[in-house]
Amino acid sequence: MSTVLSWQLDPPRGFHPVSRIKLHIDASDPACSSSCSLRLHHALPSALFADPYELQLHADAYTAQVPASKRGVDLEAPAFAVDPERAGRKVLVDVKGACGTDGELEVDIPLHVRYLEPRKDGDEDGPVATVVEPPVAFWACSGKEGEPTLDDELTTLLPDHTLRRLPRKGDVQSQTLPVPVGDIRHLSGVEAGTVVTIVLAACYVAWKIIAAASRIAGAQAAERRVKRD
């Protein structure tokens, strides 16, 4: 029987974790002898999203859909300001050639962390613990034969298919991702540091321009003296 062996976020911290799922695919599984495909569905918390353009780089392993409005997934907005229709929090993956594996199969889905609302006075220090659920692995079989084993949300995404969930090993559970959070109390220091950095950078650029202009003027003056001589 095909089974979900393990799942983890790698690395388990930072702004760019990868959702890594390992499965055992049994080539004798009835799904492999019919018009079925292996799918993964990731429902992410508000602090995480998937970049559909980056997922296209994995086209040799799978195709991915990230439902969003016509304007696409918002890749820049913080979690507390993003339009829910552009959040990129749901990922549907169609794994290619799963039944040709007959053994262990690994699928990597790159994710990104959105900035959370800055910490205020009275809030606890440290990162915010965000719970991430493992993706749901299932066979999507054409037609409506047999009993589906998944909920209405996924059935709506694939209305002309029968969906059968792959069982998980007992240790495949949710994982907590520590998400770094800014502190509003540091804002004045950040603003002052930004101003100083901009001023110093402008002075450096101006100095380089003046030095270059001086060298050019000196070279031109030397050239004129040579011509007079």
The pLDDT tens digits for 85-139 are 999 999 999 999 888 876 889 999 999 999 988 877 667 777 889 999 999 999 8
For the segment 168-177, what is each residue's pLDDT rounded down to a tens digit? 888 889 999 9
Query: What's the predicted TM-score (pTM) here?
Result: 0.77
Q: How far apart are the first and last CA of the chain?
A: 94
Residue 146's pLDDT band (boundaries 50, 70, 90)? Answer: low
Distances (CA, A) of 187 to 118, 132, 157, 194, 217: 10, 30, 43, 10, 45
pLDDT exceeds 80 at position 192: yes
Specify the long-range contacts of residues 60-66, CB closer than 8 Å, at least 24 apart: 60/96, 61/95, 61/96, 61/107, 61/108, 62/93, 62/94, 62/95, 62/96, 62/107, 63/93, 63/94, 63/96, 64/91, 64/92, 64/93, 64/94, 64/109, 65/91, 65/92, 65/93, 66/90, 66/91, 66/92
Contact 91, 42 (CB under 8 A): yes
Please choose, from the candidates 67, 12, 23, the residue with its C-alpha nearest in 3D space to the C-alpha of residue 169.
23
Whole-angstrom distance, CA of residue 163 vs CA of residue 155: 7
Neighbour-count burial for 133-158, b at 16+ CB within 10 Å, e otherwise: ebbbbbbbbeeeeeebebeeebeebb
Residue 151's pLDDT band (boundaries 50, 70, 90)? Answer: low
Quote the pLDDT of residue 7.
95
**Strand pairing category for 36-43 and 175-179:** unpaired
Whole-angstrom distance, CA of residue 87 vs CA of residue 73: 6
Quote the pLDDT of residue 15.
92
For the segment 21-30, what is each residue's pLDDT rounded down to a tens digit? 999 988 888 8
